[in-house]
Each structure stands twice: as structure tokens, then as C-alpha cells.
Amino acid sequence: MHEIILCKLGEVVLKGLNRRSFEMKLMSNIRRRTQRFGKWKIYSRQSTIYVEPAEETCDIAGAYAACKQVFGIIAITRALPCEKSKEAILETAKAYLGDSLRKAGSFKVESKRADKSFPMGSIQLSQWVGGALHDAFPHLTVDVHHPELTVYIEVREDAAYVHGPAESAAGGLPLGMGGHAVSLLSGGIDSPVTPWCGRLAVFIIPFTEIQEEIRRKCPEDHFTLIMRRFMMRLANMLALELRCRALVTGENLGQVASQTMQALAVSEDVTTMPVLRPLIGMDKEEIVKIARHIGTFDTSILPYEDCCT
């Protein structure tokens, strides 16, 4: 069998009657983000979305990296399916995780039996596979509390799946379920820390003439605040034209003088829709960490004379 990607769902599983619509949107987003890496069979079972190669030429590493950036997925792992027998599960674990088992000093086995018709319980299966793996890799010690490697076994409807530890993914809810918003994007580090959103329409609004008029006719100590009000006003007009429901900014409370509570209230006063500020309570170190993680930091620090400067 071919290696596949298992995407674990986050908040989506808490939804009620509309849960299926969230899952369908999430699978659509996964399909769009993975299509450049080949053809995939994407389906949902028991709070997990399966991303299965449909042809030999699929780039599973590329698809895995793309899925990690899809909102709605809380954790992700590559796994190898096998027949639902303890012998097949053992052989798959030895072959698929052999290198990791040889490098580890301690291990444990965790099993989940979603298919209740499987003859062994989760604990029984973990003990049997764990004992056999210890015989095959005698240098390993069993550590159920702090193992260097955990071997995961999932016995599900269609097959059993063997994999190592999952990695954290984007989390949250599927992109597109809450409607559209206009994001105000500048050249600073704070502003681009809301990407990973797939398709974007970029609108560039010339601002130099407005900026020059403000400089000529407004008190200098009010310059930044008035400029920000104009930016919010233009963004609000654009959002209304595009039928968006909110504005999004990279503003952070108190980080600069123009982002006090009073200043934020004054700049927001010209809008007619909610202003979402996902970074509002973060400090600079947290924002820089996120920027480095999502790959926008190096672009943000390039020298460029924009209106923020």
C-alpha cells in the first residue's frame, strides 16, 4: 500500500448539524492547495481527513507541507496503511518506522481501535506489537511516560494505519466559512502575519497625494493619526464595494504611539464594519517568531520607503 497523509480535525469536530459543511469546505481547501503536487483522493472518516495519492507520480512531501498550512487541520502525519491483522501491523511498523526505531533509545506503542470489530482491544494490541518490536530491536527500552519515539497504530474502517508522532498544523476553522474581509497590508513585520490564506486579490491604492495634503494642511502631531483614518476610510469603501464583512489589520496595542486604545478608537471611528486585529495582545518577540515561522520575516525587513516610514 502507498503512504498517505492523515489530517486531524480541530474545532470542526465540535460543530453540530452544520459540521458536514465545514468538512466539505476544508476538503475543498486541501484539494486546491495540493493539486499542484499530483492527483489525490481526499475523503473524511471519523474526525480525520485522508489525503491519498491517486497516481505514482504524486509528491507526498509537497502535499504534506501544503496541508500543514491549511486552517482547520490541528495535527498532521504521514502514515502507511496495511491489512487489519496484528501480524501485518507489526511488519508495517518494523518496515515503515525501522530507521526511527534503530535511532531511538526508548519507545512505546499507542493504539486506537476505531473499528470495534477488530478482535484485540487497544491495550492488548499495543502490548503485543510493543513486545514484538522490543524483540526485533533489543537495544530499545520501554518508556510509557517519556519515550524518545512513540509508535502509533490506528485501526479504522478501511485499514490499519501505522505512523510516528504527528506535527502541529495551522488549526482553527476552514478558510472561507466566515466570509471575506479586507486586510490592510503594509511593509512592516506586523502586517503580513496573517497569510497562509491561499487565494488573494491584491488592491493597491495610491496614497501619496493624500499624504502630501495631510502634511501641508494638518498639525504635525496629528499627522499619523489622520493618515491612519484615511487608510481605514479607503479600506472601508473598498470592503463595501467588494461586499466584505470586516477589515483586518496588524495593529498591536501600545507597540507604537499611534496604537494606544484612544488612537485605535479614533482611526476605527470612520469605519462601518468590525475591525479584526489578530495580533492585538502580542509582543514584538511573539510576532517576529510567527513571521519567521510562516516565512514573511525576511521580506518584511527589506529596506523600503513606504508610508509607515
Per-residue pLDDT reduced to its tens digit, 20-48? 898 999 999 999 999 999 999 999 988 89
Radius of gyration in angstroms for the set of CA atoms belonging to the chain, rounded to a whole number: 25
Q: Of 127, 159, 163, which is closest to residue 142 (Cα–Cα)?
A: 127
pLDDT of residue 66: 93
pLDDT of residue 288: 86
CB 174 within 8 A of CB 69: no
Check whether 190 has a pLDDT greater than 70: no
**Beta-sheet strand order (sheet of 246-248):** 181-183, 246-248, 275-276
Q: What is the pTM of this model?
A: 0.79
In which region does residue 236 sit, left (phi positive, over 0), alpha (psi from -120 to 50) or beta (all else)?
A: alpha
Cα(35)–Cα(54) distance, integer angstroms:
11
154, β-bridge pairs: 112, 161
- Higher-confidence position of 254 and 19: 19
Mean pLDDT of 202-211: 88
- Higher-confidence position of 262 and 151: 151
What's the angle, vertex CA 186, arms to CA 180 and CA 187, rounded to 5?
140
Torsion of Cα atoms, 195 then 282 then 280 then 233, to 10°? -50
C-alpha distances in Å from residue 179, one per residue of 13, 124, 238, 240, 246: 20, 47, 15, 13, 9
The string of pLDDT tens digits covering residues 125-177 is: 999 999 999 999 999 999 999 999 999 999 998 899 999 999 999 888 888 88
- Show the cell assigned to 206: 495610491
Mean pLDDT of 290-294: 82
Q: Of 233, 260, 261, 227, which is closest to residue 247 (Cα–Cα)?
A: 233
Stretch (H or E) spanning 268: helix 261-268
Q: What are phi and psi of 70, to 5 degrees?
A: -90, 120
The string of pLDDT tens digits covering residues 46-97 is: 889 999 999 999 999 999 999 999 999 999 999 999 999 999 999 999 999 9
CB 193 within 8 A of CB 276: no
Stretch (H or E) spanning 247: strand 246-248
Q: What confidence category does residue 198 fall into, taking pLDDT thresholds of 50, 70 and 90?
A: low
Q: What confidence category does residue 304 fall into, taking pLDDT thresholds of 50, 70 and 90?
A: low
pLDDT of residue 305: 60
C-alpha distances in Å from residue 50, one per residue of 58, 68, 78, 131, 256: 15, 13, 10, 29, 45
CB 247 within 8 A of CB 271: yes
pLDDT of residue 17: 85
- The pLDDT mean for the chain works out to 89
